[in-house]
Structure 1
Amino acid sequence: MKDATYRRLGDFVALCIRRRLAVLALLGGLTAVFAWLAAGVSVRTVFSDLLPAAHPYVQVHDRFKGGFGSSNMVSIMLEVEEGDIFRPDVLGELRRLTRDLQRVDGVDPFQIVSLASRKLKEVRASNDGIEIRPLMWPDVPADAAGIAALRQAVMGNPMAYGAYVSTDFKAALVTVDFYDHLLDYRAVFEQVRALTGELERRGAGQGIRVSVVGEPMLYGWVDHYLPETLHIFLLTLGALVLLLLLITRSWRGTLVPLTAGAVSAAWALGGARLIGYHLDPLVIVVAFLITARAISHSVQLVTRFDEEMARDAAAPQAALAARAAMLALFKPGMLGVVADAGCMIVVILTPIPLLQKVAVIGTMWVATIAVSAVVLTPVLLSWARRAQAAVHPVDLGPALARVLGLCTALVRARRARALVLAATALVFAGSLAYAFRLNVGDANPGSPILWPDSGYNRDAARINARFPGADRMFVVAATGRADGLKDPAVLDNLAGLQRFMDAQPDVGASVSLADVVPTVKRTLREGSPRYEEFGNSPEENGELLYLFISGADPGDLERYADSRFANGAVTFFFRDHQGETIRTAVERVKQYAAEHPLPGGGEYLLAGGLVGVLAAVNEVILAGQIESIALALLVLVLCCTVTYRSAVAGMFFMVPVVLSNTLTFSYMAWKGIGMNINTLPIAALGIGLGVDYAFYIVDGIREELHKHRDLDRAIANALSSAGKGVLVTALTLTASVILWASSSLRFQAEMGLLMALWLGVSACCALFVMPAMVRVFRPRFIVGAPDGMRPSPLAAPA
């Protein structure tokens, strides 16, 4: 069976080399087509792709976001350095901004709220009854008396004081929401920045400072930095060229691997265009990581080809050397591709469209390595000439040889290899324990996508310092009957939920219909605070709400209740959306709902707004993280078991995978990098990434044991051959990805460091840990019976 498989593989390899012109023409033509398609791939963020549509929270959000507020709300704060905002010039700028926001693409004009809008009302009693009128609309007060009256009205209005005018009167807030189906992050970002930029220029003399936050602005910044991201990508490729040229000292060792990476990228992006997928800016790091794998596989083949060429000093035998290299490395190369692809595709089970698209594109990208590196690279090498001289005088070969010699020495010495395995066990135990500190969701205040000192995060800090919080979550009180919200017991239950949640330090404030009714009743009683309470019956509360509605504009109550008063929103304002903050809030709402059910058989529905949908994403990520990692490990075990026909092989190759991942997760926990929608695909791909190098080392040992029975010699030869490719790849890729640390996007910088860590740890495992394990444990699938040979005794351990 094994002999037949080996013969078929040999026939395929021989065919590829014999028909190399046809193979090259076919692959070249397909690459040209895919490259043309790839040029049209759209790079953008689609908000609907970020949400798990089937999650109950997202369904509640989608059902009620039109009235209670979407997750795309933008908050704009006008802040003065001296005095307060109650000045004609500042109020005039607030009025102009509120009016100009109506021209922004996709804006919901009925969801623009500020002191200068019609939405904030003043309720007062007069001889004619109850008067309800806007606090400051349509004009700014014309004199000092009018401004003083406005100040007093704001102080007596809980809907404005503290919520839209800061308690120290030094800042005013404008919130604006959008129709999700019309939302274009790029357009909103540019138009809002233009408006606020003009405002700051006009208000520079008055000491006005503007701060802006919101998801459209955040992803607008990501799009704003896209040219920089592409520049860093090109710089990284340039660094790869220089490092490969420095280490390999040949154009062949430099350009052939880069060609393999370029072909993989063209095929994958062209395939994405064919199936109608776009590329999210935040997953460009994943694209580079997979391209790095193509380069890595190709470097292994070039290294093996050079060795085959060096064995015979006679006339060049490029075609024979390419055939030998392809045949020798086909199995570990394909095993690495299958393992990487299998570990990537399992992410598709996470019910978030963005992750599913990343899984499909990533799997296609990894699969192309089977063509670009495993097949195309040896075909290109079959035309290579024997290298005559190095292209530069710097020779790092002796240094690499010393590193590989150290690896061999550590494996041969009994105490040294025992020390290596003991240290590995200790590092694993320590990193595993620390890895449990990894947060699911955002781990820091502000946005983890941008640096803490970025303009966006500074704006978020300023707004949260002045106001209850820029991030919102609404919980729906579903009474199940018309006018159910008018029931005094229901309103009291809503108020109880607000008091309970306000005790959480991360919750800055809350608002609901239970805040509106007492305000109207107090006004009827000449403003006496003792009457700030609910009506004694649903009918009385209905009359109070009728008085409020009769003087209001259509839709003014949509933020608090639907038109039938059957469903109402309790909105909470958060100072951050860290994973722990969100989990605590959701659990507290569930606790209150369980202990204080809504009267009349109603229920609380979680949850909408930005914090609500983030809660859904975090719950999916938590389940998806465990599921994806478990399935990726299972795929890896099955691939190894089938390939080596040994269940032990599957467990044996788990060691570098588990070690590289626990160390990486520990680093994420240490640096405050949360497991979120952007990091999950990289974590799953890291399962395959952690074992690729080990495949080449182990298969090199097995191949050597076909030729002789000396295990120590087999390990030494495998390290000097396959180990050189591992070392070259690890050094070049690790050094080049460090350039991502200069990105203005914190996420990309941190992912660059994570890639470097993954590559470094997996290379160390392949060079030090795996040979030591082979020498100590002598697994049968490696040393027991090499393919095509009868079992042969090996020397006893030293």
Structure 2
Amino acid sequence: MVQRFADLCIRFRAWLVGLLAFITLFHAWNALNINVETVFEDLLPQSHPYVETHEQFKDAFGSSNMVTIMIEPVEGDIFQTEVLRKVQYLTRELRTVPAVDDYQIVSLAARKLKEVTGSTAGIDTRSLMWPEVPTTQAELDQLRESVVTNPVVMGTYVSEDLHSTLVTADFIDHLVDYEVVFNEIRALIDDVDDASVNVRLVGDPILYGWVNHYLTETLQLALLALLVMAVVLFALVRTWRGTLLPLVSGFASGSWALGTASLLGIHFDPLVVVVAVLITSRAVSHSVQIVTRFEEELSCLGDVEGASRRAASNTLRELFRPGLLGIATDAGCVAVVALSPIPLLQKLAFMAITWISTVAVSAIILTPVLLSWVNQARVQTRRRLDPLRPVLNLALRTVASRARVPALVTALVVLVGSGYFAFGLQVGDANPGSPILWPDSTYNQDSAAVNANYHGADRMFIVASGEEEGFVQRPEVLANMNRLQRFMEAQPQVGGTLSVADILPTVHRVLREGNPHYQELPNDALMTGELMYIFESVSEPGDLDQFVDSDKQHAGITLFFQDRQGETIRTALARLNEYIDNNPLEGGEYLLAGGLIGLLGAVNEVILAGQIQSIALALLVLVVMCTLVYRSSMAGMFFMVPVIMSNTLTFSFMAWQGIGMNINTVPVAALGIGLGVDYALYICDRIREELRRGGDELQAYRMALHSAGRAVLVTAAVLIASTLLWWASSLRFQAEMGLLMGLWLTVSAVTALFVMPSLAYVFKPRFIYRDFQPEPRPEAATTGDRLVPNEG
């Protein structure tokens, strides 16, 4: 059946190439219009309780798209007129930034930050620094005193040493455009950032704005990687067809996938460019295998009439099964990612499956069809100058000598050791700051400065929710909230907390003419209700809404975090659950957990819960496919070896280097499972093919290693050189993923060349040796229309 299909493709090659060229150009045109952006909603797992809490209360207690600006005078404290004018300017101009929530802009210059005083004459409230900036020393001193005595401001909007202050702005999630926000806020900062102050800028819109800022560099690196790929390919294969056809295959598959995504309205996240390079490398890999096998077939056939077409047909026939199996394995392993409830991973999985599937046409079919037009065999005996031959001979000597046993023992020791260290892989971010950018990047330096001077740049809120109105006015509820805050503040990474339970004691003290004896929560529900009413009556509308809803049924508690590491978030959530279990709210409950940290906690929980499941399912896909194709359950178990080897080594390297398993690295890990088996499939299938012809057993291994093994080595060298180029990226994530891909390819190639042939030679699995009949044969024997050369 495969032979008839191959003959049909060669017979109608002109029509086939014309049709594929038209499809490629059509999709390439559509690919130019694909939307490149990060959509925040796609990052959130669906139907997760943390996400539901966030969506319900984000407008009141804070979304995950908060931007924080820190203004720090070079000399002196912040109580300088010129410094405060800069704060006022930023506070006012932030209202002009698209998608900003006007009611969630907070600073010393905003109306929300107030001073409340009381006397026998009544309760008085006034904004700390609105509408005008203090100009005289007396006014500056009064502002200083008001700030120092205000527990809501100190440590939250003004640093404890009074040398910096914050301006925070929240954005409406479904309207925010990270690139626009990034550019407009940076333009505002340029207006005030002079020699007298240092301005720091953090927040997720800024983080992803930096990703978009480096998009041009990313595209340049992608083009440079293609150039490196072409140069190394030409240096190793030394033919134009061996260089250009793999690149044509990669271009065709990429165009089809991106064009299809554009037509379906699927956006392309800038961070998954590395995944795109990895998938394109699969097209190049399969195409190199086909070109290498074609040149071998053509060399054997010589100058007979129609040699090119016969060689192309033979190549398509012989490599159809291992090539299609490798592609199906890759696609099946990526399909596992689509089971995640995170929309970004679902969309990425769809795009990746489409992309990988097109390789079956662009590489397995198109490459041999194009090769059928080669007029004359020009494959010379280039082995003396071949830099790959020593490695291939070493692999053959390992299999043919007693060295195969030490090689297998070494592989087993490495597998066990790397498997042990792989358990140290962290889920979520593994280091302070953002793992997307380098530690010395502007963003991570700004983040470190904000965290060093304040409670924390990132926030989580939890909600005390009651069954009836007035729930949060009950003294026992407020006392419970206060105890929860003190309990969470014992965690070092939680810089501070804030809730209505911090506001009411201050109002209580003011009502008692500043007597510090009353700086406490009342024990009477009527009194707490009165304090809330007084605070609300002397404030602007909505000032209390950031702490309590209008029905006094829900109250938010904000936790400030000094880093967003996975371990920090897991510890915080575990402590919250511990406290809630031991201190239940009568007539209500605590709802976890909104804000950026809460959402990251939801993502980490989804990844943690699905990580082992995803790996197990991906391995199951591999086992089932190999079992069906080779009609042997042993085949499925046999080909798990390179997969487990490459993945455990890579995961242990991630644990060693502090690279966490997060939403950005999960797709690369899933692709790595399929990536680990492709090389072994080609080599073992060639061993099986040669053994079926009979003859010398070692000759079969020699043929497999010097043909399929050569293509593996060429592909690995080309792709490793191009992936390591990403280490020059300004985005740490892309650099690390390039390094991981290079490691995956190296381990996969070494395992396929040294470990898998040794395993096959020692254990002689039936699916490889099923039709083997050891009979002597001459060094060059005729098999049908094909000659088998001696590669010794």
Q: TM-score, normalised by structure 1?
A: 0.96
Residues 5-48 of structure 1: per-residue CA shift (max 9 Å, x gap): xxx11100000011111111111111111111111111110000
Matching residue's letter, 1:768: F
What residue ranges of structure 1 are gaps of 5+ in the alignment? 1-7
Aligned partner (choices 396, 399, 404) of residue 392 of structure 2: 404
**CA deviation after TM superposition for structure 1 residue 312, in Å:** 3.3
Between the aligned partners of 2:383 and 2:199, the Cα distance in structure 1 is 57
Aligned partner (choices 171, 175, 191) of residue 182 of structure 1: 175
Aligned partner (choices 622, 634, 643) of residue 636 of structure 1: 622
CA contact 1:249–1:395 (8 Å) conserved in 2: no
CA contact 2:69–2:199 (8 Å) conserved in 1: yes
Between the aligned partners of 2:667 and 2:379, the Cα distance in structure 1 is 43
Partner of 1:321: 311
Between the aligned partners of 1:397 and 1:672, the Cα distance in structure 2 is 42
Aligned partner (choices 357, 362, 365) of residue 347 of structure 2: 357
What's the secondary structure of 1:78's corresponding residue?
strand
**CA deviation after TM superposition for structure 1 residue 785, in Å:** 2.5
- The 3 A distance-change label for structure 1 pair 396 and 521 is farther
Matching of residue 233 in structure 1 with residue 257 in structure 2: no
Partner of 1:301: 290
Matching of residue 366 in structure 1 with residue 366 in structure 2: no
Between the aligned partners of 1:104 and 1:342, the Cα distance in structure 2 is 44
Between the aligned partners of 1:387 and 1:246, the Cα distance in structure 2 is 19
Aligned partner (choices 112, 115, 121) of residue 122 of structure 1: 115
Matching of residue 548 in structure 1 with residue 535 in structure 2: yes
Matching residue's letter, 1:321: A
Between the aligned partners of 2:697 and 2:407, the Cα distance in structure 1 is 18
Partner of 2:329: 339
Aligned partner (choices 546, 556, 565) of residue 578 of structure 1: 565
> 139-148 or 764-773, which moves further after superposition?
139-148
Residues 600-647 of structure 1: per-residue CA shift (max 9 Å, x gap): x21100000000000000000112222211111000000000000000
What's the secondary structure of 1:690's corresponding residue?
helix
Matching of residue 250 in structure 1 with residue 239 in structure 2: yes
CA contact 2:383–2:389 (8 Å) conserved in 1: no
- The 3 A distance-change label for structure 1 pair 264 and 396 is farther
CA contact 1:162–1:468 (8 Å) conserved in 2: yes
Partner of 1:311: 300
- The 3 A distance-change label for structure 1 pair 782 and 61 is same
**CA deviation after TM superposition for structure 1 residue 85, in Å:** 0.4
**CA deviation after TM superposition for structure 1 residue 598, in Å:** 1.2
Task: Give the superposed CA RMSD.
Answer: 1.5
Matching residue's letter, 1:630: A
Matching residue's letter, 1:515: D
Matching residue's letter, 2:290: L
Between the aligned partners of 2:774 and 2:702, the Cα distance in structure 1 is 19
**CA deviation after TM superposition for structure 1 residue 480, in Å:** 1.6
Partner of 1:735: 721
Partner of 2:251: 262
Matching of residue 507 in structure 1 with residue 507 in structure 2: no
Aligned partner (choices 563, 578, 581) of residue 591 of structure 1: 578
Residues 531-555 of structure 1: per-residue CA shift (max 9 Å, x gap): 1111221111111111111111111
Aligned partner (choices 675, 678, 699) of residue 685 of structure 2: 699
Partner of 1:5: none
Between the aligned partners of 1:89 and 1:505, the Cα distance in structure 2 is 36
Matching residue's letter, 1:361: M
**CA deviation after TM superposition for structure 1 residue 80, in Å:** 1.3
Partner of 1:88: 81
**CA deviation after TM superposition for structure 1 residue 468, in Å:** 0.6
Aligned partner (choices 42, 53, 70) of residue 77 of structure 1: 70
Partner of 2:785: none
The structure 1 segments of at least 4 consecutive aligned residues displaced by more than 6 Å after TM superposition are 393-396, 791-795
Residues 441-463 of structure 1: per-residue CA shift (max 9 Å, x gap): 00000000000000000000000
CA contact 1:247–1:395 (8 Å) conserved in 2: no
Partner of 1:569: 556
What's the secondary structure of 1:569's corresponding residue?
strand
**CA deviation after TM superposition for structure 1 residue 162, in Å:** 1.3
Matching residue's letter, 1:402: P
Q: How does 1:783-798 map to 2 (within 5 A)?
A: 783-785=769-771
Matching residue's letter, 1:26: L
What's the secondary structure of 1:374's corresponding residue?
helix
What's the secondary structure of 2:155's corresponding residue?
coil
CA contact 2:73–2:163 (8 Å) conserved in 1: yes
Matching residue's letter, 2:725: L
Between the aligned partners of 1:536 and 1:697, the Cα distance in structure 2 is 78
Partner of 1:745: 731
Q: TM-score, normalised by structure 2?
A: 0.96
**CA deviation after TM superposition for structure 1 residue 494, in Å:** 0.3
Matching residue's letter, 2:739: L
Q: How does 1:415-430 map to 2 (within 5 A)?
A: 416-430=403-417
CA contact 2:246–2:284 (8 Å) conserved in 1: yes
CA contact 1:79–1:85 (8 Å) conserved in 2: yes
Partner of 1:168: 161
Aligned partner (choices 587, 595, 601) of residue 609 of structure 1: 595
Matching of residue 530 in structure 1 with residue 520 in structure 2: no
Residues 264-304 of structure 1: per-residue CA shift (max 9 Å, x gap): 00111111122221110001111110000000000000000
Partner of 1:380: 370
CA contact 2:299–2:379 (8 Å) conserved in 1: no
Between the aligned partners of 1:396 and 1:681, the Cα distance in structure 2 is 42
Residues 733-785 of structure 1: per-residue CA shift (max 9 Å, x gap): 10111110000000000000011001111011110000000011100110122
Residues 699-757 of structure 1: per-residue CA shift (max 9 Å, x gap): 10011012124322211110011000001000111011111000000000000001100
Residues 82-102 of structure 1: per-residue CA shift (max 9 Å, x gap): 110001111111111111111
What residue ranges of structure 2 are gaps of 5+ in the alignment? 778-792
What's the secondary structure of 1:624's corresponding residue?
helix
Residues 326-381 of structure 1: per-residue CA shift (max 9 Å, x gap): 11111100000100000011100000000000100000000001000000000000
Between the aligned partners of 1:268 and 1:405, the Cα distance in structure 2 is 39
Partner of 2:264: 275
What's the secondary structure of 1:177's corresponding residue?
strand
CA contact 2:119–2:513 (8 Å) conserved in 1: no
Number of equivalent positions: 776
Q: How does 1:397-476 map to 2 (within 5 A)?
A: 397-414=385-402, 416-476=403-463
CA contact 1:124–1:131 (8 Å) conserved in 2: yes
Matching residue's letter, 2:766: R
Between the aligned partners of 2:535 and 2:97, the Cα distance in structure 1 is 30
**CA deviation after TM superposition for structure 1 residue 181, in Å:** 1.9
Between the aligned partners of 2:682 and 2:378, the Cα distance in structure 1 is 28
**CA deviation after TM superposition for structure 1 residue 435, in Å:** 0.3
**CA deviation after TM superposition for structure 1 residue 53, in Å:** 2.4
Sequence identity of aligned pairs in percent? 56
Between the aligned partners of 1:276 and 1:470, the Cα distance in structure 2 is 34
CA contact 1:711–1:794 (8 Å) conserved in 2: no
CA contact 2:694–2:775 (8 Å) conserved in 1: no
